[in-house]
C-alpha cells in the first residue's frame, strides 16, 4: 500500500495513475492522496477546545492517541451542516502529529490518470484555490484534489498577540 | 571501533567533568589523598584508553597532566597556578574530544605549549623541595612523552587491574606509607592509592571498559530514546489500566476483580520503576558549577565558596535538562552581581570569602532548589527606578508594590541594573530566559533579598513532567484537569451556605478566612457564555501561582487522577490556558488547565479594572485607610479616643504636684507651667495617687488633658458614625467592638489658653477665607477647628469636584488646603484643574496635605505651583505654611 511513492503533487506523466480517497462535503466531491490517509473512522467523543481556531472541532481519542480534529467545511469556509447525519473522519499525519479531518462522508478510492486532470480554475474562491491542487473531470461530476499540507497549514496563532 | 570510540567519548566527557569538580575541591583541601587519587585515576583512565585507541595527542596531554598530579601526590605543594594549568589542560582535552566527536579523528595541532608548561611545573619546584625529581620521572611511564608510551602504559594497566582485583584493606594501609616517603619508591605509590576510590560511583563504569571486570558491572548505558519509548509505552499501559478499572467499576463481575487488581498493582510498580530510570541526581546539573565559580572568582578577583547540599536529590532527566542552564546562569549571576569584592566585604564587616549556597530537596511532588548568596542583595531602589525608566510600570504602580514584587522585575527582558557590563553578566540577557525556562516546566521562582545580607532564589519545580496528579472538574458542559500542585484547597459555594460569592463592580470575590479572594469562572476565562445565576454555586478551586492567589469557580469537582500529560497539538500550542491534554480512564480526552495561564488572565483582568487581584497581603492593608487612635477612659467610664498623631506625650504624674492658680489646675512640666484640662466635665482631677495625662503641644505651648485611664492604642478603620452635637466631641465610632467617642481637640485648646485661638502672640490678621478639601470627614472635622483657631474662615469640601465648584462660585476664597491623596480625583488633579481654570481660581495659593512626602510628590507639587507640602498631622507646620503664604503677597506689595 505504501508502494505509492507519489507525493500529492499532480502527476503530469501520461501513463502514471494516482490513487485518491474521495470524501464529500455537501454535494462536492474531494480527493485526498491515498498515501497521506492513515485511517478512516467515525469521530466520537470530541472534546471541544475553547479559544481554539474556528477550524478546529476539538480533540478526540483515536486508539489511545489524542488527535486534533478539524472540520473540512469550516476550513473551506462553508456553512455548518444542516441536519445531523453521521460524520466521518480521515486520519492524516503531519510532522509526527495526527489530525482528523471531519467530512460529511467518505466515498470509494479512485485511480486517476493525468488525462482527466485539469489545473485549478482561476475563478475559484481564493480560499479554495490555496487548498486545491487540481480538478479531475469524472463522469458527470468533478473531483477537487486537496493538498493535505495546505489543509493543515492554518491556525496562525491569532491569540498570541493578545496573550503577550 | 566506531562504537568503542563513541563509548570513549561519552565516558571521557563524564570523567573530565568529574575531574574539574574534584580539582577545585582538591585545591581547597590539598591534603586530601582520596580526592587526589580519584583525579589521578580518572586522568589515568583517559590516558590509557587514548593509548589503546591510538589518539596520540590526547594521550600526550593526559600524560603530562598526570605527571604533574603525580608530583602533587609525592608532596609537591599544590598551588593555584598549578591547578589552573591542569584545568586549562582539561579544557584542551575537552576541545580535542569535541572535534573528535564531530570528525571522528583527532584534530591536527600541537600541544607543546601546555605540555612544556606542565613538565616545567612538574620538574621545577620539586627540584628545590626534594631530590625526588629523577625518580619521579622514572614512573612506569617514562618521560619521553610522545609515542613510545605504549609499553609502559600496558604495564600500568596490568598493574592497576592486578590491584583492583586484589583485596582492598592493605591498600589503604599502604597509601599513607607511600606518602611518608616522598619518592624513593614511586612505583607502588600510584597503584597503591588507586584502588582506594574504587568503591566510588564511577568505579563500575570504568571497570566495565576493557578491563575484564565484567562481574563488577552494575550499570549499563541505555540509549535515551529507548527509555523514552519505554516511558511512552508505560503511559499507554497506565491509560489502558485506568480504562479497565473504569469498566470494572460498572460491572459487578467479580471474576475480573482479582486479576485486574494485580494488573493495576503491577502497572503502578512498572510505572514507578520506569520513572526511576528517568531519574537523575540533580548533582549532574551541578557538576560544572564548582569550576564555573572558581574561574569566576579568579576572573573577578573575589573570593567565593560554593557549598552544595542535596546533590543526590533525584529528578526527571527531562526536567534536569531544562534547569541545567538556568542554574548555571543564576550561580554565575550570584557570583558576579551578588557577592561583593573582598574589599567591600571587609568594609561591611563580612567574612572576606563570599558563599554561594546551592541546595535541593524534595517537598511533596515538587523539588525545591535554593540558590543563596551572602552578598549585597538586590538594590530594590535601583530596580524601582529602572522599572519606571524602562516604562515597565508606572510610578504609582511601583509605589504600591512590595519588595518581593519589585525584585521580580529582574526577570523582565532587558532588565539589568549592573552598573558595568562585565564579560560574565550585566548584559540584561539571562534572567528572563531563566524565568521562561522554569515557567515552561511549570516551575515557580521566588526571590528573597535583603540589602547587604544577600539574595535567595527559590525554585520549585515538578519532579516529573510526564505523569501528574490532577483534579478533574467540570465547567459548563466540559471536564477539565487542574494540576494538583497548584491547588491549595476546595471551597463549596452556595447561596444558601455561609460561603457565598460576592461582587465588586461585577467582579466576583470570595471571603475566605478574613481575606478576599478574587474569583474567575473557568467558563468565563475560556470565553464561553454562561447564565449569570450559575456563578453563585459550585466549587471554588483555590489556586496559587507564585504569590498570586485566586479562585477558579467550577460547577463540579469529581476526583483526583494520575494523568499522563500529552502535549497540545501544534495548532493549539499558542493557547496559554492549556498545559496539555490527557485521556481519562473512561477514554475521554480532557484539556489540562494551566494555572499560570489563568493567573495571567486574572491579573490582566485586574489591570483593566475587572478582577481585584490579591497579590500581596500588605497591599490590601495599604489601600485601607486606617487611623491610629489613642483610647482612654474619661468621664463616667466612657471610652474616648483621639488620633495618636496629635498627641505629643502620655504622662503619669503624681497628683500632689498639681497646683491651682487662679482656680485653674497647672503643673510644672519640663520647666514650664502647663495648664490641665479635664477631658470631660465629669472627670475629677485627683488630689492623691497618680494622674494620667495626655499632653498636646503646639510650638512652645503644651496642654495636659486629664483622663481617668489610658486604655489602648488601636489601629483601625475609622468610621465616625454618629456625629455629636457637643463641641468637645467629633462623634462616636466603634473601635475594637466598643462605642468610643472621638474627642475634638480643638475644643480643649482654647480652654487651656485663652489666646490660643489667636496664634502664638501674633497680631490678628484680616481674616482670610480658606477652603479645606479632604475626602475624610474626620480630618475635615479635625482640622477646621485648628484652622479656625488660627484665624481663618474655613469652608470645607469633600471632593475635588465639590471644591472646584465652590472655588468658582465663591469669590471670597483666598487659600486652598487640599489633601493630595483622595480617591477618584486626587489633590494633584484638583490643582491641575484649578491651574487650567480662568482668572482668580487659577492663581489661588494651595497648600497640599499628604501622608508621605516623597521626592516625586515634591517634584509634582512644584510643577503645579503648590505653595507648600505639609504632612497630614503637622498642624503647626500647616499654620506656619499658611502664614507664610499670607505674608508673601504683603511682601510683594511692599
pLDDT tens-place string over residues B657-698: 888 877 788 888 777 788 888 888 777 777 778 888 888 876
Contact yes or no for A56 and B571 at CB 8 A: yes
Pairing of strands B738-743, B729-735: antiparallel
- Calculate the alpha carbon distances from B229 to B224, B589, B650 in Å: 9, 22, 77
Measured in residues, chain B has a length of 894
Contact yes or no for A45 and B587 at CB 8 A: yes
pLDDT of residue B530: 60
For range B627-643, the mean pLDDT: 80
Size of interface A-B (CB pairs under 8 A): 69
pLDDT of residue B209: 40
For range B419-436, the mean pLDDT: 56
Say how far apart CA A89 and CA A163 lie, in whole Å: 32
Q: What is the distance, to the nearest Å, from the Cα of residue B766 to the centroid of all Cα atoms in its chain?
A: 59
Residues of B in contact with A159 (CB under 8 A): 574-576
- Calculate the alpha carbon distances from B764 to B97, B454, B516, B767, B792 in Å: 95, 59, 53, 8, 10
Nearest to A47 among B239, B240, B591 (CB): B591
Label residue B529 by pLDDT band (50, 70, 90): low
Label residue B133 by pLDDT band (50, 70, 90): very low
- pLDDT top residue among A45 and B671: A45
Say how far apart CA B41 and CA B47 lie, in whole Å: 10
pLDDT of residue B482: 92
Burial of B578 (0-12, 13-18, 19+ CB in 10 A): buried
B773 in Cβ contact with B800 (< 8 Å): yes
For range B292-304, the mean pLDDT: 84
Nearest to A97 among B570, B575, B591 (CB): B570
Label residue B280 by pLDDT band (50, 70, 90): confident
Residues of B in contact with A157 (CB under 8 A): 573-574
Unique residue bearing C-alpha cell 498642624? B875
Residue A111: is its pLDDT beyond 70? yes
Helix residue spans in A46-151 (DSSP H): 72-75, 126-131, 148-151
Residues of A in contact with B588 (CB under 8 A): 45, 47, 61
Residues of B in contact with A162 (CB under 8 A): none
Residues of B in contact with A93 (CB under 8 A): none
Contact yes or no for B574 and A159 at CB 8 A: yes
pLDDT in tens, B73-127: 777 777 778 888 888 888 888 888 888 888 777 777 777 888 888 888 777 654 4
pLDDT of residue B877: 78
Residue B202: is its pLDDT beyond 50? no
The helices-and-strands tally (H runs, E runs) of chain A is 4, 11
- Report the chain A residue with the minimal C-alpha distance to residue B479: A47
Residue B831: is its pLDDT beyond 60? yes
Label residue B422 by pLDDT band (50, 70, 90): very low
pLDDT of residue B221: 78
Q: What is the DSSP letter of B410?
A: G
- pLDDT top residue among B460 and B418: B460
φ, ψ for residue B316, nearest 5 deg: -55, 135
Cβ–Cβ contact B590 with A under 8 A = yes
Residue B805: is its pLDDT beyond 90? no
pLDDT of residue B189: 38
- pLDDT top residue among B43 and B471: B471
Contact yes or no for A52 and B571 at CB 8 A: yes
Contact yes or no for A66 and B581 at CB 8 A: yes
For range B699-708, the mean pLDDT: 80
pLDDT in tens, B870-888: 877 677 778 778 877 776 6
Nearest to B96 by CA among B87, B113, B108: B108
- pLDDT top residue among B315 and B160: B315
Say how far apart CA B360 and CA B323 lie, in whole Å: 13
**Best residue in B476, B574, B578, B600 to probe A by mutation, most A CBs within 10 Å?**
B574
B872 in Cβ contact with B850 (< 8 Å): yes
Label residue A161 by pLDDT band (50, 70, 90): very low
pLDDT of residue B472: 93
* Range among A71-75, B100-104, B864-868 with highest mean pLDDT value: A71-75
Cβ–Cβ contact B575 with A under 8 A = yes
- pLDDT top residue among B661 and B210: B661
B411 in Cβ contact with B397 (< 8 Å): no
| A88 min Cα distance to partner chain B (Å) | 18
Burial of B776 (0-12, 13-18, 19+ CB in 10 A): middle
Global ipTM: 0.80
Burial of B127 (0-12, 13-18, 19+ CB in 10 A): exposed
Contact yes or no for A47 and B576 at CB 8 A: no
Residue B248: is its pLDDT beyond 50? yes
Contact yes or no for A59 and B589 at CB 8 A: yes
Nearest to B571 among A60, A64, A155 (CB): A155
Residues of B in contact with A59 (CB under 8 A): 569, 581, 589, 591
Label residue B146 by pLDDT band (50, 70, 90): very low
Q: What is the DSSP letter of A115?
A: G
Label residue B480 by pLDDT band (50, 70, 90): very high
Three-class SS state of B201: coil
- Calculate the alpha carbon distances from B547 to A84, B444, B615 in Å: 49, 9, 6
Q: Quote the percentage of chain B above a pLDDT of 90.
A: 2
Say how far apart CA B846 and CA B870 lie, in whole Å: 11
Residue B481: is its pLDDT beyond 90? yes
Contact yes or no for A49 and B591 at CB 8 A: yes
Interior CA angle at A108 toward A104 and A113, to 5°? 120
Q: What is the DSSP letter of B335?
A: I
- pLDDT top residue among A155 and B518: B518
pLDDT of residue B348: 85
Residue B818: is its pLDDT beyond 80? yes
Label residue A32 by pLDDT band (50, 70, 90): very high
Contact yes or no for B574 and A160 at CB 8 A: yes
Cβ–Cβ contact B478 with A under 8 A = yes
Helix (H) or strand (E) holding B565: none
pLDDT in tens, B24-40: 877 777 777 778 777 77
Label residue A6 by pLDDT band (50, 70, 90): very low
Label residue A59 by pLDDT band (50, 70, 90): very high
Nearest to A131 by CA among A103, A156, A153, A150: A150
For range B183-203, the mean pLDDT: 38
For range B439-444, the mean pLDDT: 74
Nearest to A21 by CA among A6, A3, A42, A38: A38
Burial of B744 (0-12, 13-18, 19+ CB in 10 A): buried
Nearest to A68 among B240, B569, B590 (CB): B569
- Report the chain B residue with the minimal C-alpha distance to residue A45: B588
Cell numbers for A28, please give them: 462536492
Contact yes or no for B581 and A64 at CB 8 A: no
> Dihedral sign, CA of B499, B502, B507, B509?
negative
pLDDT of residue B199: 38
For chain A, report the end-to-end CA distance as a whole number of angstroms.
46
B738 in Cβ contact with B639 (< 8 Å): yes
Contact yes or no for B574 and A64 at CB 8 A: no
Three-class SS state of B478: strand
* Range among A139-153, B276-290, B331-345, B572-586 with highest mean pLDDT value: A139-153
Q: What is the mean pLDDT of chain B?
A: 74
| A86 min Cα distance to partner chain B (Å) | 20
Label residue B758 by pLDDT band (50, 70, 90): very low
Phi-psi region of B318 (alpha: psi -120 to 50; beta: other; left: phi over 0): alpha
* Range among A128-132, B618-622, B698-702, B838-842 with highest mean pLDDT value: A128-132
Contact yes or no for A61 and B236 at CB 8 A: no
Which of B142-146, B460-464, B757-761 shows the lowest mean pLDDT across its residues? B142-146
Burial of B389 (0-12, 13-18, 19+ CB in 10 A): exposed
Pairing of strands B314-316, B279-281: antiparallel
Burial of B534 (0-12, 13-18, 19+ CB in 10 A): middle
φ, ψ for residue B839, nearest 5 deg: 50, -120
Residues of B in contact with A52 (CB under 8 A): 571-572, 575
Say how far apart CA A22 and CA B696 lie, in whole Å: 96
* Range among B17-21, B300-304, B531-535, B885-889 with highest mean pLDDT value: B300-304
B578 in Cβ contact with B596 (< 8 Å): no
Contact yes or no for B589 and A52 at CB 8 A: no
Residues of B in contact with A47 (CB under 8 A): 478, 581, 588-591
Label residue B766 by pLDDT band (50, 70, 90): low
Contact yes or no for B571 and A53 at CB 8 A: yes
Residues of A in contact with B236 (CB under 8 A): 64
In sequence order, the 6+-apart residues with CB closer than 8 A to the CB of B62 are B43, B44, B46, B47, B50, B93
Three-class SS state of A150: helix
Residue B375 pairs in a beta bridge with none
In sequence order, the 6+-apart residues with CB closer than 8 A to the CB of B439 are B596
Residue A87: is its pLDDT beyond 90? no
For range B133-149, the mean pLDDT: 38
Give the DSSP per-residue string, B837-890.
Answer: S-HHHHH--EEEEES---HHHHHHHHHTT--EEEETT-HHHHHHHHHHHHHHHH
Nearest to B569 among A97, A159, A160 (CB): A97
pLDDT of residue A20: 92
- pLDDT top residue among B866 and B49: B866
Say how far apart CA A25 and CA B375 lie, in whole Å: 69
pLDDT of residue B506: 74
Cβ–Cβ contact B570 with A under 8 A = yes
Chain A residues interacting with chain B (CB cutoff of 8 angstroms): 45, 47-53, 56, 58-61, 64, 66, 68, 70, 95, 97, 99, 154-155, 157, 159-160, 163
Say how far apart CA B487 and CA B454 lie, in whole Å: 31
Question: Taking the CA of residue B708 as centre, how many other CA atoms within 13 Å lie in the half-sphere pointing to its CB?
Answer: 15
| A27 min Cα distance to partner chain B (Å) | 29
Amino acid at each position: 500500500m505504501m508502494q505509492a511513492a507519489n507525493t500529492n503533487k499532480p502527476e503530469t506523466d501520461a501513463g502514471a495513475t494516482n490513487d485518491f480517497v474521495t470524501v464529500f462535503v455537501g454535494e462536492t466531491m474531494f480527493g485526498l492522496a491515498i498515501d497521506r490517509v492513515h485511517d478512516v473512522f467515525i469521530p466520537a467523543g470530541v472534546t471541544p477546545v475553547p479559544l481554539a481556531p474556528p477550524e478546529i472541532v476539538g480533540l478526540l481519542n483515536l486508539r489511545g492517541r489524542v488527535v486534533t480534529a478539524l472540520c473540512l467545511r469550516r476550513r473551506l469556509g462553508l456553512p455548518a451542516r444542516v441536519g445531523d447525519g453521521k460524520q466521518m473522519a480521515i486520519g492524516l499525519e503531519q510532522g509526527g502529529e495526527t489530525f482528523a479531518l471531519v467530512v460529511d462522508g467518505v466515498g470509494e478510492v479512485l485511480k486517476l490518470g493525468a488525462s482527466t486532470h485539469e489545473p485549478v480554475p482561476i475563478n475559484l474562491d481564493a480560499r479554495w484555490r490555496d487548498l486545491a491542487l487540481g480538478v479531475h473531470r469524472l463522469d458527470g461530476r468533478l473531483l477537487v484534489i486537496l493538498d493535505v499540507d495546505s489543509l493543515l497549514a492554518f491556525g496562525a496563532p491569532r491569540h498570541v498577540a493578545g496573550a503577550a | 571501533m566506531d562504537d568503542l570510540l563513541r563509548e570513549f567519548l561519552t565516558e571521557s566527557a563524564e570523567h573530565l567533568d568529574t575531574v574539574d569538580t574534584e580539582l577545585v575541591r582538591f585545591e581547597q583541601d590539598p591534603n586530601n589523598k582520596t580526592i587526589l587519587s580519584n583525579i589521578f585515576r580518572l586522568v589515568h583512565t583517559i590516558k590509557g584508553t587514548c593509548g589503546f585507541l591510538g589518539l596520540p595527542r590526547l594521550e600526550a596531554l593526559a600524560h603530562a597532566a598526570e605527571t604533574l598530579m603525580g608530583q602533587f601526590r609525592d608532596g609537591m605543594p599544590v598551588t593555584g597556578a598549578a591547578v589552573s594549568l591542569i584545568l586549562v589542560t582539561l579544557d584542551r582535552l575537552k576541545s580535542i574530544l569535541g572535534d573528535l566527536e564531530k570528525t571522528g579523528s583527532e584534530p591536527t595541532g600541537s600541544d607543546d605549549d601546555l605540555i612544556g608548561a606542565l613538565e616545567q611545573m612538574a620538574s621545577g619546584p620539586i627540584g628545590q623541595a626534594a631530590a625526588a625529581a629523577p625518580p619521579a620521572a622514572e614512573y612506569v611511564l617514562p618521560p619521553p612523552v610522545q609515542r613510545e608510551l605504549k609499553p609502559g602504559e600496558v604495564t600500568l594497566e596490568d598493574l592497576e587491574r592486578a590491584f583492583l582485583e586484589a583485596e582492598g584493606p592493605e591498600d589503604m594501609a599502604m597509601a599513607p606509607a607511600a606518602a611518608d616517603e616522598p619518592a624513593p619508591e614511586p612505583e607502588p605509590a600510584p597503584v597503591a592509592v588507586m584502588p582506594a576510590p574504587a568503591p566510588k560511583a564511577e568505579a563500575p563504569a570504568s571497570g566495565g571498559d576493557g578491563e575484564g571486570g565484567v562481574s563488577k558491572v552494575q550499570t549499563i548505558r541505555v540509549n535515551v530514546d529507548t527509555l523514552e519509548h519505554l516511558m511512552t509505552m508505560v503511559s499507554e499501559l497506565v491509560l489502558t489500566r485506568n480504562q479497565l478499572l473504569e469498566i470494572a467499576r460498572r460491572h459487578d463481575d467479580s471474576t475480573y476483580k482479582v486479576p485486574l487488581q494485580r494488573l493495576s498493582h503491577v502497572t503502578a510498580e512498572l510505572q514507578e520503576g520506569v520513572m526511576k530510570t528517568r531519574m537523575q541526581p540533580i548533582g549532574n546539573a551541578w557538576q560544572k558549577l564548582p569550576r564555573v565559580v572558581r574561574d569566576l572568582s579568579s576572573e573577578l578577583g573575589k573570593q567565593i565558596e560554593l557549598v552544595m547540599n542535596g546533590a543526590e536529590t533525584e529528578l526527571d532527566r527531562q526536567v534536569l535538562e531544562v534547569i541545567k542552564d538556568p542554574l548555571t546562569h543564576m550561580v554565575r549571576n550570584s557570583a558576579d552581581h551578588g557577592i561583593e569584592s573582598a574589599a567591600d566585604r571587609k568594609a561591611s564587616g563580612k567574612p572576606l570569602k563570599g558563599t554561594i549556597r546551592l541546595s535541593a530537596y524534595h517537598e511533596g511532588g515538587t523539588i525545591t532548589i535554593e540558590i543563596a548568596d551572602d552578598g549585597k542583595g538586590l538594590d530594590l531602589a535601583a530596580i524601582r527606578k529602572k522599572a519606571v525608566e524602562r516604562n515597565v510600570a508606572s510610578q504609582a504602580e511601583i509605589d504600591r508594590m512590595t519588595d518581593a514584587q519589585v525584585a521580580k522585575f529582574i526577570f523582565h527582558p532587558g532588565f539589568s541594573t549592573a552598573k558595568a557590563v562585565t564579560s560574565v553578566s550585566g548584559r540584561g540577557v539571562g534572567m528572563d530566559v531563566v524565568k521562561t525556562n522554569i515557567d515552561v516546566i511549570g516551575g515557580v521562582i521566588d526571590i528573597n533579598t535583603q540589602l547587604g545580607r544577600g539574595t535567595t532564589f527559590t525554585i520549585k519545580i515538578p519532579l516529573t513532567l510526564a505523569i501528574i496528579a490532577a483534579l478533574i472538574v467540570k465547567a459548563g458542559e466540559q471536564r477539565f484537569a487542574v494540576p494538583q500542585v497548584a491547588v491549595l484547597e476546595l471551597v463549596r459555594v452556595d447561596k444558601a451556605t455561609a460561603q457565598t460569592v460576592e461582587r465588586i463592580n461585577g467582579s466576583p470575590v470570595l471571603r475566605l478566612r478574613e481575606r478576599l479572594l478574587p474569583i474567575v469562572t473557568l467558563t468565563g476565562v475560556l470565553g464561553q457564555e454562561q447564565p449569570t445565576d450559575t456563578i453563585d454555586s459550585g466549587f471554588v478551586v483555590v489556586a496559587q501561582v507564585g504569590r498570586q492567589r485566586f479562585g477558579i469557580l467550577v460547577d463540579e469537582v469529581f476526583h483526583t487522577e494520575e494523568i499522563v500529560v500529552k502535549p497540545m497539538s501544534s495548532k493549539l500550542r499558542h493557547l496559554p490556558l492549556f498545559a496539555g491534554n490527557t485521556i481519562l480512564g473512561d477514554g475521554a480526552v480532557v484539556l489540562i488547565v494551566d494555572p499560570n495561564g489563568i493567573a495571567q488572565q486574572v491579573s490582566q483582568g485586574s489591570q483593566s479594572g475587572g478582577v481585584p487581584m490579591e497579590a500581596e497581603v500588605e497591599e490590601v492593608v495599604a489601600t485601607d485607610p486606617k487611623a491610629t487612635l489613642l483610647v482612654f477612659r474619661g468621664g463616667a467610664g466612657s471610652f474616648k479616643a483621639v488620633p495618636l498623631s496629635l498627641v505629643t506625650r502620655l504622662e503619669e504624674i503624681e497628683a500632689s504636684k498639681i497646683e491651682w492658680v487662679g482656680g485653674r489646675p497647672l503643673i510644672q512640666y519640663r520647666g514650664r507651667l502647663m495648664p490641665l484640662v479635664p477631658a470631660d466635665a465629669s472627670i475629677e482631677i485627683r488630689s492623691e495617687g497618680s494622674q494620667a495625662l495626655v499632653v498636646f503641644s503646639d510650638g512652645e505651648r503644651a496642654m495636659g488633658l486629664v483622663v481617668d485611664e489610658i486604655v489602648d492604642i488601636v489601629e483601625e478603620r475609622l468610621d465616625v458614625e454618629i456625629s455629636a452635637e457637643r463641641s468637645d466631641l467629633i462623634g462616636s465610632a466603634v473601635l475594637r467592638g466598643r462605642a468610643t467617642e472621638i474627642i475634638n481637640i480643638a475644643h480643649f485648646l482654647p480652654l487651656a489658653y485663652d489666646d490660643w485661638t489667636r496664634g502664638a502672640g501674633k497680631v490678628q490678621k484680616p481674616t482670610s477665607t480658606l477652603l479645606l478639601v479632604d475626602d475624610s470627614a474626620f480630618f475635615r472635622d479635625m482640622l477646621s477647628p485648628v484652622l479656625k483657631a488660627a484665624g481663618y474662615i474655613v469652608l470645607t469640601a469633600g471632593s475635588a469636584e465639590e471644591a472646584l465648584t465652590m472655588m468658582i462660585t465663591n469669590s471670597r476664597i483666598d487659600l486652598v488646603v487640599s489633601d493630595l491623596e483622595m480617591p477618584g480625583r486626587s489633590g494633584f488633579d484638583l490643582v491641575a484643574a484649578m491651574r487650567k481654570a480662568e482668572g482668580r481660581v487659577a492663581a489661588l495659593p494651595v497648600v497640599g496635605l499628604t501622608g508621605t512626602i516623597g521626592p516625586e510628590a515634591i517634584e509634582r507639587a512644584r510643577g503645579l505651583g503648590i505653595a507648600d507640602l505639609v504632612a497630614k498631622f503637622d498642624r503647626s507646620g500647616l499654620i506656619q505654611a499658611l502664614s507664610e503664604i499670607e505674608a508673601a503677597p504683603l511682601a510683594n506689595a511692599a
